[in-house]
Structure 1
C-alpha cells in the first residue's frame, strides 16, 4: 500500500536532493556539462562580494517574518477561539484570513504592488496625500519591510489554523475553573493556553523557519531582490544564479548551504523544545 507513495517520495524528493548535492560540486552552466570542480563553488560563495549583504538580508527576513508568522498567528488563534465565543464568527474570520493563501501568488502580490504603488494612486501614498505629504517610492526605499509584511501576513494564516485547532481541543472546564478561582485573562493565556499548545508551537516554529529559509516566490514577484540586492535572500540568490545567470553549479552550492543551515536549526529546535521528552512514553509514578 505504501509502495506508490515511497516511489513518489524517492523520485520527487530524495532524487532531486541527491542530484542537487552532486551538482553543487560541478561547474555546470548553460553548456550542461557535469565538470566536477571540487569545493570551488563554496570558495566562490565565501569570496562573493554580495554574500554578506545577502546573508544579513536573509537573517533579517527570516527573523522578523517568523515573529509575525508565529506570534501573530498565535494571537489570531487565541482571538478567534478563546475570546470569540460564537464559533460562526471565529470560523468566518479565519476563512477570510485564509483567502490570500488559497489565491494565486501573482494576484496576492498585485494587491501589495497596488498598496506600495509609488504614484499618488497607491494605497499608502493616497493616505499620505490627505496630510499633504508627497508620495514615496516604498519598494525602493523600504524593500525589506515590504517583503516582511507581504510574507508575514500570509504566513500567519498557517499558524492561526494550527493554534486554533489546538486551543479548541483544550477542555472548556479548565477555563471556567480558572475564572472561578479569579484568574485574569492573561493568566489563563500564560498558564493554560500556551503550555497546552507547546507541541503545535514547536511544529509551527520549525515549519515556518525552514519554509522562510527556502522561500523566494513572493520576494521574486514583489521586488525581485532589488534594488541592488537590498531585498535579496539566499534562496532567491540561488534561483537567480541558476536560472537567470545559468550558473547551475553555483546555485546548487548555495542551496546545499541552505540545507545545512536548516539541519542545524532543526537540531537546535529539537533541543530547545525538548522534543525527545514530548514524544517519549509517559511515566507512571
Structure 2
C-alpha cells in the first residue's frame, strides 16, 4: 500500500518535474531546468518562509495547543457538557469546505456589522477588513479551528485510557487539578502528543484548500502563498498569459516531498516514533 500510494506517485512527480509538460500533455525532457528556475525565482524564499510560518504557527497554537487544551478542560467538567462541546467543535470538520470558508468570509467582512468587527466595536476598536489587513490571522484561524478537532479526538481518547487508579492516587495524595494535569495526565499521553505533532506537521505542509478559498495566496503578491498552493497555481492556473506548467508544478511538489521526508526523519529520531509504531500506547510504566 505504501508503494502504491506514496512511492509510485512520488517517483512520477519527480519524473514529471524533469519535463516541460503543460496542459496539452505534450512534453520533452528538460532535466533539472525546473529546479534551477525554482532557485532563481525571487519569490521562492518568501513562499518557503510563508510555509514554515503557516505550518508551525497553526500547529503550535491550534492543531496541538488548542486541541490539548480543549481535551483537558472538557475532561474536567461535567461529562455531558464536555461531550457536547467537543461535538460542536467537530462541526467545522464535517462542514463542506466551501461553506465553511464562506462563513468565515461573511464573519470577517469589512462592515462594522460583521461578527468579528462587532466584537472589535464592543471593545472600542475600529472595524477592519480582515482579509486585507490581517490575512495571516484569518488563514490561521480558518485552518486552526478545523485542525484542532483531529488532535482533540486523539487526546480525549488518550486521557480516557489513563487507568483511573492513577488519578485517584493523585487525589488521595492531595494533588490539585493543575498538579494532576501537569504531573499525571500530560506525562502519560506524551506518545499521542508526539504522534499528533508529527502527523499534523505533514498534513499542514501539504494543505492549501482553505487558503485557496479564503485568500488565494493574497492579498497582493504571494502574501499568504504557501508552497503547496504555489505548486497548484503553477500546475493548474494560467499566469502572465502563459500556459499551466505541469512540469514546474511537479518540480515544486517534489521539493515538498523532500521537505516532508526530512521532517519525518527528524520526528522519527527525536520522538522515537519506531517505538510508537511497534507498540502504540499510553505511557503508564
- 1:189 and 1:252 map into 2 onto residues whose CA distance is 46
Distance change in 2, residues 1:137/1:27 (3 Å): same
Equivalent-residue separation in structure 2 for 1:277 and 1:18 (angstroms):
29
Q: Is 2:224 the partner of 1:231?
A: yes
Alpha-carbon deviation of 1:270? 1.2
Q: Which residue of 2 aligns with 1:21?
A: 14
- 1:80: which partner in 2? 74
- SS at 1:111 equivalent: helix
| Alignment partners' CA distance in 2, 1:44 and 1:192 | 53
1:63 to 41, 56, 59: 56
Greater displacement, 50-59 / 158-167: 50-59
Q: Say whether residues 1:43 and 2:40 are aligned partners.
A: no
Pick the aligned partner of 1:95 from 74, 87, 102: 87
Q: Give the Cα–Cα distance (whole angstroms) in 2 for the partners of residues 79 and 207 of structure 1.
A: 23
Offset at 1:134? 4.2
Please give the per-residue CA displacement for 1:222-271, whole angstroms capped at 9, x wherever unaligned: 00000121100000000000000311111111111111111111111111
| Residue matched to 1:248 | 246
Map residues 268-283 of structure 1 onto 2, 5 A cutoff: 268-278=266-276
Q: Aligned equivalents of 1:195 and 1:247: distance in 2? A: 49
CA distance in 1, matches of 2:89, 2:246: 38
Partner of residue 140, structure 1: 132
- Against the structure 1 CA distance between its residues 185 and 101, is the aligned structure 2 distance closer, same or farther, given a 3 Å change threshold? same
| Distance of 2:207 and 2:186 partners within structure 1 | 28
Q: Which residue of 1 aligns with 2:241?
A: none
- In the TM superposition, residue 273 of structure 1 has moved relative to its aligned partner by 1.3
SS, match of residue 21 in structure 2: coil
1:210 shift after superposition: 0.3
Counterpart-to-counterpart distance in 2, 1:128 and 1:161:
32
* More displaced stretch, 204-213 vs 266-275: 266-275
Give the TM-score of the pair, scaled to structure 2: 0.89
Q: Which moved more, 1:268-277 or 1:213-222?
A: 268-277
Shift of 1:174: 0.8
Distance, in Å, in 2 between the alignment partners of 1:195 and 1:132 is: 42
TM-score for both structures, normalised by structure 1: 0.89
Superposed, which structure 2 residues align to 1:109-258 within 5 Å? 109-130=101-122, 134-227=126-219, 228-245=221-238, 246-258=244-256
**Is the 2:10–2:257 Cα contact (8 Å) retained in structure 1?**
no
SS in 2 for 1:257: helix
- Report if the CA contact (8 A) 2:92-2:145 is conserved: no
Q: Is the 8 A contact 2:19 2:247 kept in 1?
A: yes
Whole-angstrom distance in 2 between the partners of 1:164 and 1:137 = 36
Contact persistence 2:64–2:151 (CA under 8 A):
yes
Counterpart-to-counterpart distance in 1, 2:113 and 2:277? 54
Segments of 5+ residues of structure 2 without an aligned counterpart are: 239-243, 280-285
SS of equivalent residue, structure 1 residue 32: coil
* Structure 1 portions without partners, runs of 5+: 1-5
